[in-house]
Structure 1
Amino acid sequence: MTQSAGARELLLLRHGKSDWREPVADYDRPLKKRGKLGAQRIGAWLQEQALEPDQILVSPAERALATAEKCVKAMGHTVAEVETDRQLYMASVEDLLAVLAKTPDSTERLLLVGHNPGLEQLVRALPAQPPATPEDGKLMPTATLAQLRFQGAWSELAPGTAELQRIVRARALSSEFPFPHGQAVDEWRQRPAYYYRQSAVIPFRCLDGQLEILLIGSSSERHLSVPKGIVEPGLSDIASACREAEQEAGIRGQVQLPALGQYRQAKWGSWCEVTVYALEVTEQLPEPEWQERQRGRQWLSPVRASQQVRQPELGRFITKLTRLLN
């Protein structure tokens, strides 16, 4: 931080565009794809501008929490940094100031993710010179960030005590994300950088002396595959692969080291690097505890499994695993 002693910075982010098609209560309304991308663009912009927060507070409503998590991961941070506060759900200006007043003075830059009308009213109230209303009449549309600065303790923050630095709309930012190579950024991609590192497991068991491989339906349900997913910030390749195995296949087990290998998969306009592990299955969760049970699961012989997977590299890894276990 380069700010002078006593200087504070407040980042106010309205949640991304939510999906009204879902027949759920307001509190549980999810983000649309546009809302997720908007949150990620704000996160990438904050990282580019060296504006990563020291603390992150968020309304626990689904659309706000998802916005915070998408934003934080796009910054390269872990979702463990996100703190929820029930008082932020549909909070008034008074509620928001009460939450902010509890912020420790060790926090120099705070990101707060919440809802209108409270956030917009706060953005209008805090600056000594209130902002002009844009031509479209919307000061804080969805996935919009306001940056404010003030002097003193968080408990002293009050209307008229801050200076508005800028208001940034996600839709005004680049539709692509910087992809780092070392310390330089010389490439832009369709998704945040962490999307392009993935891990997978090939689940296996020995039943009556016969080796079997577990396959599941793909997310599109058009072919069979193995549990695989993005390695999110804060997780290792192995931890991520085990999480995908539990969520997608409803299984737990023991990862075998070293990894079977790596392969590249074309996705999101570039190449994803996928690390593949063998997982000896020790437990199959009952269907009510299996998050993505709509995928289904099939135990197959190694030969049959290698023929069924669409990625030829996975077929070769199944063959390699068979040789290692025989």
Structure 2
Amino acid sequence: MSADTPRRIIVLRHARADWPNQVADHERPLADRGRLQAAEAGQWLVDSGINPDHVLCSSALRTRETWKLVAHELPKRHRRAVFEERVYEASPGQIIEVLQETPDDTADLLLVGHNPGVLGLTQVLAGDHGDTDALNRLRLNGFPTGAIAVLSFAGSWKGVEPGVAKLDSYHTLPE
């Protein structure tokens, strides 16, 4: 792929998690509603024609469970999934550093992460660029569980930096 290849970053916040007693935050599982949300998010990706070829997922249990349920909805296709500790509790800048390590043959990357990192990342990458309605809804709604933002940019993954992308779409699921 060349330096001006169109690429997409699909940002997905994990689905609704449970809060069991005496379970460390990193090991919190999905709630029943979260399992439904994750399947709905996967179906939205299918309906939108999005089938990522690379997945970057936080190592937390709720993100791994979200990815597993999303993947079940997607057309069967080999995709790389990396469960990355650095995405857990990461700032937008830290996530950008991880995104810059994405293999060059990746066109569509799905990031499964947490707030406030995924909201901040989406805002930092897109700024005021993209679909006006999607930008306004993002500002109004923030990034609730199961929300999805689709950003596009042209260039290499090493060139991912603030303001490089535009927000193409933004979707939220019923809480």
Aligned to 1:146: 149
Assess if the C-alpha contact under 8 Å between 1:73 and 1:79 holds in 2. no
Assess if the C-alpha contact under 8 Å between 2:52 and 2:79 holds in 1. no
Q: Could you tell me how far apart the structure 1 residues matched to 2:156 and 2:169 are?
A: 21
Assess if the C-alpha contact under 8 Å between 1:69 and 1:82 holds in 2. no
Percent same amino acid at aligned positions? Answer: 34
Which protein has greater RCO, CA pairs closer than 8 Å, 6+ apart?
2
Deviations 1:145-204 (A, max 9, x none): 0000001001101111101011111229xxxxxxxxxxxxxxxxxxxxxxxxxxxxxxxx
Q: Could you tell me how far apart the structure 1 residues matched to 2:72 and 2:97 are?
A: 27
Aligned to 1:25: 24
Q: CA deviation at 1:38?
A: 0.7
Larger Rg: 1
Deviations 1:221-255 (A, max 9, x none): xxxxxxxxxxxxxxxxxxxxxxxxxxxxxxxxxxx
1:1-326 matches, within 5 Å, as: 6-77=5-76, 81-129=80-128, 131-132=135-136, 137-171=140-174
Q: CA deviation at 1:47?
A: 1.5
Assess if the C-alpha contact under 8 Å between 2:13 and 2:147 holds in 1. yes
Higher helix share: 2
Higher strand share: 1
Structure 1 residues 80 and 102: CA distance shift in structure 2, 3 A: closer
TM-score, with length taken from structure 1: 0.48
Q: Could you tell me how far apart the structure 1 residues matched to 2:60 and 2:77 are?
A: 19
Q: Secondary structure at the match of 2:174?
A: helix
Q: Could you tell me how far apart the structure 2 residues matched to 1:11 and 1:133 are?
A: 17
Q: Could you tell me how far apart the structure 1 residues matched to 2:123 and 2:52 are?
A: 22
Count of matched residue pairs: 167
Q: Secondary structure at the match of 2:10?
A: strand
Q: Secondary structure at the match of 2:37?
A: helix
Q: Could you tell me how far apart the structure 1 residues matched to 2:67 and 2:123 are?
A: 22
Greater shift in the superposed pair: 36-45 or 72-81: 72-81
TM-score, with length taken from structure 2: 0.88
Q: CA deviation at 1:44?
A: 1.3
Assess if the C-alpha contact under 8 Å between 2:54 and 2:79 holds in 1. no
> What amino acid is aligned across from residue 144 of structure 1 in structure 2?
A
Assess if the C-alpha contact under 8 Å between 2:8 and 2:107 holds in 1. yes
Structure 1 residues 86 and 79: CA distance shift in structure 2, 3 A: farther
> What amino acid is aligned across from residue 18 of structure 1 in structure 2?
A
Q: Could you tell me how far apart the structure 1 residues matched to 2:33 and 2:11 are?
A: 19
RMSD: 2.1
Q: CA deviation at 1:22?
A: 4.0
Q: Could you tell me how far apart the structure 2 residues matched to 1:81 and 1:153 are?
A: 18
Tell me, which stretches of 5 or more residues in structure 1 are unaligned? 173-326
Assess if the C-alpha contact under 8 Å between 1:72 and 1:79 holds in 2. no
Aligned to 2:132: none
Q: Could you tell me how far apart the structure 1 residues matched to 2:79 and 2:6 are?
A: 26
Q: CA deviation at 1:78?
A: 7.4
Q: CA deviation at 1:142?
A: 0.3
